[in-house]
Amino acid sequence: MPDYRRNRMPGGTYFFTVNLLERNSSLLFDHIDALRDAVRTVRVRRPFLIDAWVVLPDHMHAIWTLPDDDSGYSGRWKAIKIAFAKTLPKTERISPARAARGERGIWQRRFWEHTIRDDTDYAAQMDYVHINPVKHGLVSHVRDWPHSSFHHCVSRGIYEPDWAGQENLELPAGERGA
């Protein structure tokens, strides 16, 4: 059995990738309001700052900053996944192993986490989050994807409205978080 070790730094800033079990699904996109409600509900009980977020049909990327005395991002993700799943009818395929554990067949069990190390890393991860709809061929320009914090970042002066269309796809370094 794999030994999943997470870097836990109270008050840390983290990049996440969270996937649906069925990678050809559009469940997140189709139920975006339920996802938003799940996130809001969890943030009331266990606050965190959303630095960036993009929701694609079958996965999402986010950057969070936790409170100074808190490193519990796993519990927050678990609560978001559960709250979202509770809003959906039980129509998904469930493996015998998941059924035996009483699990739904919506989410991949794990998620990918990366602790942001410095300002350069933060900027690269922000770019990666926001370029993702273009990278996946969903839109030609970042500004055209509605389920992204890019629009909020533009209003705060972090990005220009025309930042990173297809012509700038190489801006984020490598395949971080993919």
- The number of beta carbons lying within 10 Å of the beta carbon of residue 110 is 13
Is residue 166 very low, low, confident or very high in pLDDT (cuts 50, 70, 90)? low
Is residue 78 very low, low, confident or very high in pLDDT (cuts 50, 70, 90)? very high
State residue 99's pLDDT score. 86
Tokens for 88? 């959906």
Q: What kind of fold does domain 13-168 have according to CATH?
A: Alpha-Beta Plaits (3.30.70)
Is residue 171 very low, low, confident or very high in pLDDT (cuts 50, 70, 90)? very low
Q: What value does the mean pLDDT take over residues 26-37?
A: 96
Strand partners, 53: 62
**What is residue 163's three-state secondary structure?**
coil
Of 6 and 108, the structure prediction assigns the larger pLDDT to 108
Transcribe 60-102 into DSSP letters.
EEEEEE--TT---HHHHHHHHHHHHHHTS-S-S---HHHHHHT
d(C-alpha 12, C-alpha 132), whole Å = 23
Is residue 7 very low, low, confident or very high in pLDDT (cuts 50, 70, 90)? confident
State residue 164's pLDDT score. 79
Is residue 165 very low, low, confident or very high in pLDDT (cuts 50, 70, 90)? low
* Domain boundaries defined on the chain: 13-168
Question: pLDDT digits over 99-108, tens only?
Answer: 898 889 999 9
Of 132 and 175, the structure prediction assigns the larger pLDDT to 132
State residue 2's pLDDT score. 55
